Structure 1
């Protein structure tokens, strides 16, 4: 494993947008492709009249996050667009897309049955996107990669281990601030930490905290057992995380074990893995099991300092600041430069 100690550099040297923004040889085509009856819209960024070269699929974070990284809750983040632009400066064509329920893609055939949208629908979209990218004349099929942020990294790993006869093979993989374990296990850890903090602050009694944890863990057990929820509302606003409207996708997402997927990635695959001491969702300490599961790959581990979950320099990782205009962290772009060029 090659470990990179990410260093802070001056902002003048580390702008998040590459020179490709003013390079008129790069164009962005609005494209569509089909995934099990769903028409997915995306942006194919490539060099005009280019010979076949490296190409990367970019997979956005979970929730209402579109092709550009813009989120319905926090606003126009734009980090995935910036990632595409930076990769252009490295000579890499990219495809980014609006997954189901976002952007121009919308819900399509699921408009009248949104509760039926599960994790498998997202994975099917990623697989169709990779096949579209592989079919482009400017794509060198021997140098294809996938970069996923957060939960998008789970879908990127699914592409790397896809054994279908027509599945394009990935040369390399970028796992940016990925989920370090099963989804509901991660949420359970947060619930326990939150109620423990509430007890310490005096806003909850120990008995109240135990009741919240008991209700949550019972719900998790039932979802895993049969895909249903206990009657009644979960306490402490936890119904916003797990409810009848999202139980299908939560159960399917939870069924995927990132450690198991990582172990199946072909040996020797170049993998870029990032974590941050300021990202509550992907702290480096919590990613140690995933790092171990990737030991058989050609792993580059990048431990970012003061970088938030949307890949920008912000040690507070404040959700309210995600949409503030800012470049990608120079620590990340420096790591990307080295990873792509190697």
Structure 2
């Protein structure tokens, strides 16, 4: 098994769906299984190549999944299977853009790989290096234009894409940040917990005094984590206490490295003029639109070009709305189309 990044990649492309007979001069759409190696771990992904002219070099997008054990399709089976990234790939493919999505560490066929015996050593930079290796694979495909590459990240994957886009060559032509993690991780966790506690208080599950006690304990836990002190969980509900205990245990290295990133600072490394789309949904309880304010200002200072931030009325974190609970909301498809047409 080889280690290293773009310079030490082992790539295998296998056609997994036999294309139907194409029109004269056209190559039919098809999916290919892509296998590549980064940091001693073999990763598996799907390259979707839309119908195109024979010999055509086309735009191509690397798709990056959100937090937790989210696989190439944007799923956390068996409990959560929204197919978020598979649906994004379908939307982009319909507009003639090839896509590569892959099983990141801990998911799908990739699994933990080299981290199997010591998962506590897995940190956020490892996911960025894995994404960098995938970007190199996408760049080198015979159908893709290496000077027209896009990076599309969802949730935590958007933050990964932001870090990636400022460090790869050639620099991507466009970056789509879909419902992005736009503030530090622990600040976002605290905000999500505050909102959940406020809702429980509004429903009468907690008293206002209990609400204040728990919120104070949550902020104390965040302060302790950042100071590398043990977290006092005495005033936390059991489920919240277990969350912060995990943050001090096997997930400690990942949490610390993720929380060290302030996405607005990462925007400064972007190439001036890069096309950026930043979406936020008004029904997104995980990444409220207000959390993207500082990143939006930072992208403006970095001289990124539009469409910039696009607010999506009624859209949730999984890019659905109430009228389309199982597929991309029309406003999301619209925003992606505006992004790619630039």
Deviations 1:52-72 (A, max 9, x none): 221110001111110011113
Q: Structure 2 length as normaliser, TM-score?
A: 0.83
Residue 331 of structure 1 and its aligned partner are, at CA, apart by: 0.9
Instruction: Give, in whole Å, the separation in 2 of the partners of 1:145 and 1:115.
Output: 31
Structure 2 unaligned regions, length at least 5: 1-18
Tell me the residue number matched to 1:341.
341
Distance 1:149 1:50, change over 3 A: farther
Greater mean alpha carbon deviation, residues 42-51 or residues 60-69:
42-51
Tell me the residue number matched to 2:214.
212
Alignment of 1:306-321 (within 5 A): 306-314=314-322
Tell me the residue number matched to 2:66.
61
Residue 42 of structure 1 and its aligned partner are, at CA, apart by: 0.3
Deviations 1:121-161 (A, max 9, x none): 21111111101111112221110010000110001101111
Instruction: Give, in whole Å, the separation in 2 of the partners of 1:329 and 1:21.
Output: 30
Contact 1:21 1:85 in 2 (8 A): no
Residue 111 of structure 1 and its aligned partner are, at CA, apart by: 1.4
Tell me the residue number matched to 2:92.
87
Q: Is the counterpart of residue 121 in structure 1 residue 126 in structure 2?
A: yes
Residue 101 of structure 1 and its aligned partner are, at CA, apart by: 0.4
Instruction: Give, in whole Å, the separation in 2 of the partners of 1:269 and 1:161.
Output: 10
Q: Structure 1 length as normaliser, TM-score?
A: 0.83
Instruction: Give, in whole Å, the separation in 2 of the partners of 1:75 and 1:191.
Output: 21
Deviations 1:177-205 (A, max 9, x none): 10131110111123333334444554334
Contact 1:52 1:140 in 2 (8 A): yes
Instruction: Give, in whole Å, the separation in 1 of the partners of 2:114 and 2:235.
Output: 30
Instruction: Give, in whole Å, the separation in 2 of the partners of 1:96 and 1:22.
Output: 25
Alignment of 1:222-301 (within 5 A): 222-226=224-228, 229-230=230-231, 235-236=236-237, 237-242=239-244, 243=246, 244-295=249-300, 296-300=303-307, 301=309
Pick the aligned partner of 1:28 from 26, 31, 47: 31
Aligned-residue RMSD, C-alpha: 2.5
Residue 338 of structure 1 and its aligned partner are, at CA, apart by: 2.3
Contact 1:273 1:299 in 2 (8 A): no
Structure 1 unaligned regions, length at least 5: 1-19, 316-321
Figure out how many residues of one structure are paired with residues of the other and give that number: 311
Distance 1:240 1:122, change over 3 A: farther
Residue 105 of structure 1 and its aligned partner are, at CA, apart by: 0.4
Instruction: Give, in whole Å, the separation in 1 of the partners of 2:193 and 2:338.
Output: 38
Tell me the residue number matched to 1:42.
45
The secondary structure found in structure 2 opposite 1:286 is helix
